[in-house]
Structure 1
Amino acid sequence: MQQIIERLSKHKVVPVIAVDKAEDILPLGEQLQANGLPVAEITYRSDAASKAIELLREAYPDMLIGAGTVLNEKQVIAAKQAGADFIVSPGLNPNTVRACQKHNIAIIPGVNNPSTAEQAIELGLDTVKFFPAEPSGGIAMLKSLLAPYSMLKIMPTGGINAKNIQSYLDVTGVVACGGSWMVDKSLINSGKWEELGELIADIVKQLK
């Protein structure tokens, strides 16, 4: 997990990607790689997720690839077999955490209150996702949550955008933020790869 944390900290932002067609991940992956952001969280909101992870892993073996919106052991197994480096879940399901531990793949589960933060610690985790970040109280809530749990590393996701990402990154304990604005699904479905590349390049430049 430490290597994953180090890479997340380096990139600062994790593109949260939903694709309807698995093959769309290849031109998108090309834009991520070319514009200095070789990291992706491909969500299981689509049946194309496993194939997309597999295609991206084959095309870019060194890219950091997460599988998002993973809800059960079946998806954990599918994501790992496809080539995911880590798992991300929207909430804290102890069964999903234990499945990841059983299959030896890192997980970053979602928490947004003290009870779930303590459950994560009890399960042996030190890295969690603050989700949904903005609807859960934003930076004020995040700081309050981290006060008694300073041992946690946090990846805020949900409502993060180019205007507020730096404010989140400035909070001690935040390693990276998840966001989808630079990998907008409507642009993916329209095949606007150059426009996506510009959005990716803009955020990379902003966060340098």
Structure 2
Amino acid sequence: MSLLENTHTLDALFAHSRLLPVITIESMHDVLPLIDALAAGGINNVEITLRTPLGLSAIELLRLERPAIGVGAGTVMDSMQFQAVVDAGAQFIVTPGCTDELLQLGVDSPVPLLPGVATASEVLAGYRLGYRRFKLFPAQASGGVPLLEAFAGPFGDVRFCPTGGITLDSAPAYLALNNVLCVGGTWMAPRSLIREGNWAAIQRLGEESAALF
């Protein structure tokens, strides 16, 4: 796939569901009920991180059992993890930063890459290769809404998925920006509620979050 085709794929994935729960799986028993609760709340895309060894298995399970959900792989750090998540069936890949290795892998990747950036120089590094969609991380710490407003000037054709430090209260300000593709965060599925198995509470958070847009 070309970078242009991958850009169109990302735009299509987030056209109707502009929220991206960032999820770290601690038990495989949580995967399906958690995703079902989010879907019932109106959220149809998720980022499964590789912060635990269960990330790959969770991606495989979701692609098999919940094919209607857009499943991305997050916290991808190197070429081995990149290939592993592609093999697991991830529909998009998210990285916390951008290295030359990761950017080059994404150029020819069969699935879209959202490289992590925090500065204009990092955006330019991806831009020169053809990237037009990025993850802004850590969003709040690196400048938040004012930074994205500033990026809109020189990078008029670029859109971002801000993640990091965003809450239910602060998400609307991000979603209101024209250069925001989607907003990621953990507030939609807090680890405490997952550990409790409180799927009803997560569904309510999903409904409150989906109502933002």
TM class by smaller structure: over 0.9
C-alpha change, 1:194 and 1:132, in structure 2 (3 Å) is same
Secondary structure (helix, strand or coil) at the match of 1:71 reads coil
Mapped pair 1:73 → 2:82: no
Do the aligned residues in 2 keep the contact of 1:113 with 1:145 (CA within 8 Å)? no
User: In structure 2, how many angstroms separate the alpha carbons of the residues matched to 1:113 and 1:100?
Assistant: 19
Counterpart of 1:36 (choices 39, 42, 45) is: 42
- Contact 1:129 / 1:155 at 8 angstroms: preserved in 2? yes
TM-align CA RMSD: 1.3
Which amino acid in structure 1 is aligned with residue 100 of structure 2? Answer: P
* Distance of 2:111 and 2:51 partners within structure 1: 20
Q: Please give the alpha-carbon distance, in whole angstroms, between the structure 1 residues aligned to 2:195 and 2:143.
A: 32
CA contact (8 A) 1:127 1:152 kept: yes
12, 19, 37: which one aligns with 2:18: 12
Structure 1 segments, 4+ long, off by >4 Å, are none
Structure 2's unaligned 5+ residue stretches are 1-5
Paired positions, count:
207
Matches within 5 A, 1:96-135: 96-135=102-141
Distance change >3 Å, CA 102–CA 3, structure 1 → 2 = closer
How far did 1:43 drift? Answer: 0.6
Q: State the distance in 2 between where 1:14 and 1:150 align.
A: 23
The CA deviation string for residues 19-43 of structure 1, in whole angstroms up to 9 with x for no partner, is 1123311111111222221110001
In the alignment, does 2:91 pair up with 1:90? no
For residue 112 of structure 1, report the CA deviation from its aligned partner. Answer: 1.3
Give the match's secondary structure for 2:173: helix
For each residue in 1:50-103, what CA deviation from the matched residue of structure 2 results, as whole angstroms up to 9, or x when unmatched?
A: 001111111111211110010111111111111110000010112012223344
TM-score normalised by L of structure 1: 0.94
Instruction: Indicate if the aligned counterparts of 2:41 and 2:205 stay in contact, CA closer than 8 A.
Output: no
- For 1:40, give the aligned amino acid: V
1:38-53 pair list within 5 angstroms: 38-53=44-59
Tell me the SS of whatever aligns to 2:139: coil
State the alpha-carbon separation in 2 of the partners of residues 178 and 64 from structure 1. Answer: 14
Q: Which runs of 5+ in 1 are unaligned?
A: none
- Is 2:158 the partner of 1:152? yes
Amino acid at match of 1:183: A
* Cα distance, 1:126 vs structure 2: 0.6
User: Which of 1 and 2 has higher RCO (CA within 8 Å, sep 6+)?
Assistant: 2
Q: Matches of 1:44 and 1:60 in 2, distance apart?
A: 19
CA contact (8 A) 2:72 2:94 kept: yes
Identity of aligned residues (%): 33
CA contact (8 A) 2:107 2:129 kept: no
